[in-house]
Structure 1
Amino acid sequence: MSKIQLLDSRLANQIAAGEVVERPASVLKELLENALDAGARQITVDVEQGGTKLIRVRDDGSGIERDELPLALSRHATSKIHVAEDLEAIGTLGFRGEALAAISSVSRLSLTSNTGEQAEGWEVVVEGRDMAPSVTPAGHPRGTTVTMRDLFFNTPARRRFLRTEKTEFNHLEEVFRRIALSEFQTGFRLSHNQKVVHQLPSGDNEALRAARVARLCGSAFMEQSMPVDVSHAGLRLHGWLGLPTFSRSQADLQYFYVNGRVIRDKVVSHAVRQAYSDVLYHGRQPAFVLFLELDPALVDVNVHPTKHEVRFREQRMVHDFLYRTLHRAIAEVRPADRLDVQASPQTMPSWSAPTQGAMPLTQPRDSGADVSGTGYQGGGAAPAYRPPPSVADGDRQASAYGSLVTPRPEAVPMPVPEPGQTPPLGYAVAQIHGIFIIAENEHGMVLVDMHAAHERITYERLKRDWAEEKVRGQPLLVPVSMAVSSREADFAEQQPEVFQRLGFGVERAGPETLMVREVPVLLRNADSETLVRDVLSDLLAHGSSERIEQHLDALLSSMACHGSVRANRKLTIPEMNALLRDMEATERSGQCNHGRPTWTQMSVKDLDRLFMRGQ
């Protein structure tokens, strides 16, 4: 081996640049963060050839003193921290002091700045093998301009790994989008090859914030999202939460910020995934733009070279706050809210927790089950119609929705709607193919998948009853005998309390025989034998009582699916209307347990367009 020796400054900086500068987008990220830390209120970005030829960032921030310009391009030189204690509560986006030195070692970099207290600005560049800084006078208004040219001109190996101009610009534009969403009080402008791509005015009022999000994330996202603003125990979560109906095939519209810094964190991802657990179709991804604010001392941003990851001091508290906030916000979306959004995209009310009362921050089940008694109240507008309150628990199945379980033979005429009193989902008109319900409301026609809707209603009731330990059973007039395996019979005999709490009465009648004497009230019209077999199969798969508790939502969902009205079941008009009323009052009624939509709206304009009326 050769002798140990110190690396020269340029080589050391080029090695360090490997952690900071991956592609042109990495350069833009560092420069934009520096501009925001300088207090800029207007930032202009000019890019050529996807950022490989030129990236110029100009801001109107505080600027840099002449004597400090050479230090700005030196390694480990920064004005943002001074002592080790500063690392415990970092309030700026950048703090390491490596970015400009790393960028200057793999490109031709110049920095021009003026603090506004001097008649002229000053420009600094680094030259030669030792990267010696050279400072010269230059005309410049208050602020700073950083110009980077010919990225990786002196490191051909890195340049060969760059992609096409279009690909590199797409990455660069995504970085611009993330930064622009983090600071609404700053105006941004991006141009590529002398063509303006984004022009975002500054402003922190609600209309301008919504306009910027719509410009960067698409108007469809704003039309299918709800504002969220919740504070508790020093934590604040605000932003926009995409409705489950606006899911995507990829996680390409997920922006989460911690104290203004865009991050991708496992704790955050897990909390969001739990909140959407039973309202998204298989493999679909939610969309959101959310901002979490907390004491900087409670989060460590110095855990990754690119600062994309953070570590929370109280991970459990942050996880539970995010989960419960998003879980309840999604649950509070009712058909009336969705119809208001379709009629006017900006009318979705902001959801927030009540200002009084505490929200317990306990760990939820991994299954993401509904949580009762959190002190939350929906901030959305209440539907114009509310179903009558249920009667005593023992007769709960005979409430407004009981007609679906026990059909009433008498024909009840369809109620005549009063002006301004039509329920959100309207009144049923007909049933087609034994599957869909057609209803008429003030906006036009509503089409409902009756099985999917009933499945969600039954599922939510089972979850509520389980939480209240009130899953009541109903004895069967004629007990059902089932032939099972000896393993299944042993399990039913060893854990009868699990079946009892689920509302089943199951006894062992032989080595390979079970006798079903009782089924849950809500599912009393289901095929008892098939229902018990599927529940027994799920219980065997989960094993112990602890694992059953963890996978309870999946079990209750399976039970609800078997207990819901099936296709080709003929419903009367009163039964259809009872279903519509329960959908209006049920949480997450827009999706079934598997994430499929339960209803859709077609306005009169949509129908006119379909038949070319007025054209």
Structure 2
Amino acid sequence: MRIRRLPDNLVNQIAAGEVIERPAAAIKELVENSIDADSTRIEVELIEGGKDLMIVRDNGYGMGADDLMAALDRHATSKLPTSDLTNICFLGFRGEALPSIASVSRMKVSTRERGGDAYEIDIIDGQKNPLRPSAQAEGTTIEVRDLFSLTPARLKFLKTAATEYGAVKDMLQRLAMAYPHVSFRLTHNGATSFHYPVLDNALESLGEQRLRHIMGDDFIANAIAVDAERQGIHLTGWIGKPTHNAGTAQKQFLFVNGRAVRDKLLLGAIRAGYMDVMAKDRYPVVSLFLTVPPAEVDVNVHPAKAEVRFRDSAIVRGLIVSTIRYALNGQNVAPVTSLTDELVNRLEQQRSNQEAAPAASYPSYHPRSMLTSYAMPRSASYGQLAEHVTNAFQPQMDFMPSARFDSPAPIPEQEAEENYPLGSARAQIHENYIITQTPNGIVIVDQHAAHERLVYERFKSQMASTGIAVQGLLTPEIITMDDVDCARLLESRDIFTSSGLEIEAFGAGAIAVRSIPAILSGRLNLKILLQDLADDLREHEKATALEEKINHVLATMACHGSVRSGRRLSVTEMNALLRDMETTPLAGQCNHGRPTFVALSLDDIEKLFGRK
């Protein structure tokens, strides 16, 4: 079979298979073009999730007649003024998006250059029709109809309209988060899905406002702002507290030089930053922005530009991990004295449901039978009032309350509850929960979870100060592995040695283990441990399995050595626990990321009782 040159239209359709895999990918390319065109207002309209119609409208600087014709040719772009691919400062640069989309749809482009004339052009089956004048305002409008109508094989792999719409919405929200100075609007089937206006001129305020619009007030109330720099790489954004987590990684928003990415290195670094405070089946909620010199990052890795490669990935990973850990360790232990609206509404809904339930479902209720009456003394001051009144009464209960109140010792004025973030202990209920009073409300503390975190942090501090005890093996244990995995492990053996694991090469495809951390003696399978370490190095270029196992043992020891549920504490012991929590890092959550305390403000309490 002889080799033949493919026609341009077929080449564009092949390229579209790499760049345009679904409506969200097409919208992403078009919106990124609008951002590169210095737009301040971008509107997106969809019909049936974008499968029938997609419209992207902006107020950017537009194009003249010559540029419009050239933009529809493959590998034609205004974003590479030189041939230097190491200094890319725009979101787009390949020059593939417009011709690729046009080759698998029916497209119309209308544009007006700032201070110039307006033109429009239709592209059908990848073929350009003649240019004609237009009534387009300044900016560009691109209509894409019947995506993949010319490639039925690709069309049948599209999901439902709702799924495709969800993908477009998620992608647009990520771009809106990265560019808070740009107004975004999304309309689906004639209904506005969201509109993120620009409300302020200060970039810092804009970023927080946009995050509030997209992530919600709950995230802002439970997030920590971060700002760090290392060797010219700048990291900013917001990280959620460990207690504010999600069941998937969908709420992890990562940006490199304004480009939304889903990079394994960055995701692994975030996981490592939260490793000590979150269960493995939960995911942190973050919005992080990396600013890297263009020469230090390669964005020309994937056609969709969703992955990047860093010249020095260790610096980037170390910056992310250390910044997250520092922020979490430095967070204020003072409780947030307001419940989310969702929780308050849920409690109020439960109360409403109970009030609306049929009376037959409850025991008979006789208010006066639950009151103790007494006779008022007869005197002139009372006149001829009723003989029996019920303004003093005592509820009659058939059960003993599971709560205990000890009269606390007098508290010096300088040590009143307002001087402490977690207040002063007032009672213990169910032998597990401590009730404290603060100037703004109450705090409920889980005594076991709180003390478990305190003991765990104490163990870690002791190990950091004395070093990890090492147990040498009388006879080195030989572990056979893939030769590539062996090479990876041996390259990092200095790091393992500092953690108590000493390894060395033992011929081709084998590792000799000479010592292990004493705390793990009898608790691990060496072959599984080494394989986990090799997998970590292959996936994230960093091995954390050994540290995880050591921390797991410390966490188990802390669990068994902490105050148990069901133990009664004196007021002095409860207050001592509260004071330790206020001075211990990460005391706001247990080792699994669950909260150690919750707070109710007076406003919340009054809402629950219908006073507000």
Match of 1:183 in 2: 179
Q: CA deviation at 1:173?
A: 0.9
Partner of 2:208: 210
Distance 1:114 1:609, change over 3 A: closer
Matches within 5 A, 1:129-528: 131-202=127-198, 203-205=200-202, 206-336=204-334, 338-339=335-336, 413-416=410-413, 421-469=418-466
CA shift for structure 1 position 271: 1.0
Aligned 8 A contact 2:337 2:599 in 1:
no
Q: Equivalent residue for 1:552? A: 550
- Partner deviation per Cα, 1:568-611 (whole Å, 9 max, x = no partner): 3332211110110111111111111222221111223433444x
CA RMSD of aligned residues (A): 3.1
Asked if 2 retains the 8 angstrom alpha-carbon contact of 1:116 and 1:141, the reply is no
Aligned-residue offset at 1:278: 1.8
Query: What is the distance in 2 between the residues matched to 1:67 and 1:153?
Result: 29
Corresponding residue for residue 66 of structure 2: 67
The answer to whether the Cα contact below 8 Å between 2:237 and 2:289 also exists between their aligned partners in 1 is yes
Call closer, same or farther: CA 1:548–1:298 in 2, change over 3 Å.
Answer: closer
Matched AA of 1:105? S
Q: How far apart in 2 are the matches of 1:63 and 1:22?
A: 26
Correspondence 1:526-565 to 2 at 5 A? 536-538=521-523, 551-565=549-563
**Structure-1 residue corresponding to 2:22:** 23
How many positions carry a matched residue from both structures? 491
The residue type equivalent to 1:159 in the other structure is L
Q: CA 1:543 to 1:58, structure 2 compared with 1: closer, same or farther past 3 Å? A: closer
Deviations 1:279-318 (A, max 9, x none): 1134011101111111011000011111000000010000
Contact 2:418 2:439 in 1 (8 A): no
Letter in 2 for 1:50: G
CA–CA separation in structure 2 for the residues paired with 1:80 and 1:470:
53
**Other structure's SS at 1:339 match:** coil
Which of 81, 87, 106 pairs up with 1:108?
106
Structure 1 position 126 matched with structure 2 position 123: yes
Letter in 2 for 1:216: I
Offset, 1:91: 0.9
Residue in structure 2 matched with residue 80 of structure 1 by the alignment: 79
Q: Is the 8 Å Cα contact of residues 417 and 423 (structure 2) preserved in structure 1? A: no
- Counterpart-to-counterpart distance in 2, 1:145 and 1:547: 51
Gaps (5+ residues) in structure 2? 342-407, 476-497, 500-517, 531-543
TM-fit CA distance, 1:442 = 1.7
Aligned twin of 1:8:
7
Change (3 A) 1:343 1:250: closer
The equivalent of 2:92 in structure 1 is 94
Q: Distance in 2 between matches of 1:31 and 1:455?
A: 52
DSSP-derived class of the 2:193 partner: strand
The structure with the larger Rg is 2
TM-score by length of 1: 0.74
Rounded Cα–Cα distance in structure 1 between residues aligned with 2:473 and 2:576: 39
**Counterpart amino acid of 2:109?**
L
- 216-225 or 95-104, which moves further after superposition? 216-225
1:580 matched to which residue of 2? 578
The sequence identity of aligned pairs, in percent, is 41
Question: Which stretch shifts more, 291-300 or 567-576?
Answer: 567-576
Q: Secondary structure at the match of 1:321?
A: helix
Against the structure 1 CA distance between its residues 24 and 471, is the aligned structure 2 distance closer, same or farther, given a 3 Å change threshold? closer
SS at match of 2:110: strand
Amino acid in structure 1 at the alignment position of 2:91: L
| Aligned residues of 2:519 and 2:553 also touching (Cα < 8 A) | no
The SS at the match of 2:60 is coil
Partner of 1:366 in structure 2?
none
Kindly provide the amino acid, as one letter, of the partner of residue 538 in structure 1.
R
Secondary structure of the 2:44 match is strand
Kindly provide the amino acid, as one letter, of the partner of residue 8 in structure 1.
P
Distance 1:547 1:82, change over 3 A: closer
Counterpart Cα distance in 2 of 1:415 and 1:282: 45
